[in-house]
Amino acid sequence: MRKNIVAGNWKMNTTLPEGIALAKAVNEALKNVDAKCDVVIGVPFTHLASVNEVIDKNKLGLGAENCADHRSGAYTGEVSAPMVASTGANYVILGHSERRQYYGETSETLKEKVKLALENNLTPIFCIGEVLEQREDGSYFDVVKAQVEEALFELSAEDFSKIILAYEPVWAIGTGKTATDDQAEEMHAFIREVIEKKYGKEVADNTSILYGGSCKPSNAKALFAKPNVDGGLIGGASLDAESFMGIVTAFE
Ligand code: PEP
């Protein structure tokens, strides 16, 4: 059966010493709980190798927040999937709405990123989600379906099975405005149906679909109680070990 997962997305926050301290705090806290989910932290590129040294990878997965759409070469400033993997990271967040919105990421570039991540044994945490206007005009199911189909549906069933999805309604990210647990469940069930039509019931049932968008200790339990919500991708609340752990322990 599919895994429950709580993954942090630190975004462009923390200096290296701050990031190491935060990773150590999460790592220590995990020693004292019997976590009922996999736990991952997504950290800036600059932190990956150092954080990898201070965490117990049996208990805490490590991810980058992006990778390049090319393997290597003259792409100044980019960081490739092989580079990310060489730090010890085993996950990569791809297609975050901030990357789509501010850095022009499209399904075409994301398709390449996903391919390179998989080739390098990185598990993609692939983000999808509609903006407020699309929620309001009722096109949100079509938008999310297209995001999944365009970037992922050329994958074999075997490769698709390695993907974690994160439904993140853009209007809920960093705004304090969470989707209700019913809104999340409705979309997650829809996404699972879309996967089932393409890859069959077994693959669909085994795909972890996380919710992201102002998830915090106070709302995590209700969200995670929904049958199609398999955990969360956590931005702001992952920057504090205590609140992040409050979400991790929402799974009982
Ligand atoms: C995110 O950036 O993936 C996210 C969900 O952010 P926040 O939890 O801060 O809304």
Residues with Cβ within 8 Å of 68's Cβ and at least 6 positions away in sequence, in order, are: 75, 78, 79, 80, 81, 113, 116
> Which residues form ligand 1's pocket by a CB distance below 6 Å?
9, 168, 173-174, 212-215, 233-237
Residue 127, helix vs strand vs coil: strand
With 90 as the cut, is the pLDDT of residue 227 above it? yes
Q: Which residue's CA is the closest to the ligand 1 atom numbered 2?
A: 235
> Distance between CA 39 and CA 59 in Å, rounded?
7
Q: Which residue's CA is the closest to the ligand 1 atom numbered 8?
A: 235
Give pLDDT, residue 75: 98
Tens digit of pLDDT for each residue in 159-196?
A: 999 999 999 999 998 888 888 999 999 999 999 999 99
Q: How far does the centroid of ligand 1 lie from the alpha carbon of residue 78, in Å?
A: 23
In ligand 1, the atom with minimum distance to the C-alpha of 172 is 10
Is the pTM of the predicted complex or chain greater than 0.85?
yes
Catalytic pick from 98, 168, 185, 188? 168
Q: How far does the centroid of ligand 1 lie from the alpha carbon of residue 101, in Å?
A: 14
Q: Which residue's CA is the closest to the ligand 1 atom numbered 4?
A: 235
Tokens of 238: 């992952």
- Rounded to the nearest 10 degrees, the angle between the axes of helix 140-152 and helix 107-119 is 50
Give pLDDT, residue 69: 98
Q: How far does the centroid of ligand 1 lie from the alpha carbon of residue 40, in Å?
A: 14
Whether 252 sits among the annotated catalytic residues: the reply is no
Percentage of residues in the chain having pLDDT higher than 90:
96
Q: How far does the centroid of ligand 1 lie from the alpha carbon of residue 200, in Å?
A: 30
Tens digit of pLDDT for each residue in 137-161?
A: 999 999 999 999 999 999 999 999 9
User: Chain-wide mean pLDDT for the chain?
Assistant: 97
> Distance between CA 81 and CA 70 in Å, rounded?
8
Give pLDDT, residue 8: 98
Give pLDDT, residue 246: 97
Give pLDDT, residue 92: 98
CA angle 15/21/22 to nearest 5° reads 85
Residues shown for the chain = 252
Give pLDDT, residue 220: 97
Tens digit of pLDDT for each residue in 69-100?
A: 999 999 999 999 999 999 999 999 999 999 99
Whether 96 sits among the annotated catalytic residues: the reply is yes
Give pLDDT, residue 176: 82
Give pLDDT, residue 202: 98
Catalytic pick from 47, 65, 96, 130? 96
C-alpha dist (Å) from residue 60 to 6, 38, 169? 10, 7, 26
Tokens of 39: 């736990």
Q: How far does the centroid of ligand 1 lie from the alpha carbon of residue 196, in Å?
A: 27
